[in-house]
Amino acid sequence: MLGIPYTAAIDMWSFGCILYELYIGYPLFPGEDEKDHMALMMEIKGIPPRSVLARSSRRKVFFDEDYNPIIVPNSRGKIRVPNNKNLLTMMNCTDKDFVDFIDVSIHLYIINYFKLIEMHRMEA
């Protein structure tokens, strides 16, 4: 969506989203278009790190020149605010470790983590 090359991080992201959907019965980010999809992700995970956005070839679709999100209402008029929802509350799950695992899997910083792993592999 941001135009960043895929790594193993996208697989972990997908795995976390699938686990959420299997547990809840509904997709974690059911966006009606890519702007709504990005807004849904930021509503739960916050604004992506500047280091990630700097590598994005499509940053200007979702963010202004100062890297702030361009917030627009979806077709139903819903405005989504970054960091406005909590995964633990959304899931209403008593197994905090399970929620934490999903949360870490869909964390925006996981992209940087897998980038570090790839760099270490190249150095070895």
The pLDDT tens digits of the residues spanning 62-89 come to 999 999 999 999 999 999 999 999 999 9
Contact 103, 20 (CB under 8 A): no
Residue 38 confidence (pLDDT) above 60:
yes
Burial tier of 28 (Cβ tally within 10 Å: 0-12, 13-18, 19+): buried
Compute the average pLDDT of residues 15-33.
Answer: 95
Q: d(Cα 1, Cα 34) in Å, to the nearest integer?
A: 7
Position 110 scores a pLDDT of 54
Average pLDDT of the residues in 18-29 = 96
pLDDT the model gives residue 77: 94
pTM, two decimal places: 0.82
| Segment (H or E) for 58 | none
In sequence order, the β-bridge partners of residue 63 are 69
Largest CA distance in the chain: 51
Only one residue has tokens 């997709």, namely: 27
Query: In a 3-state reduction of DSSP, which class is residue 10?
Result: helix
The distance in angstroms from the start CA to the end CA of the chain is 31
* For the chain, percent of residues with pLDDT exceeding 70: 86
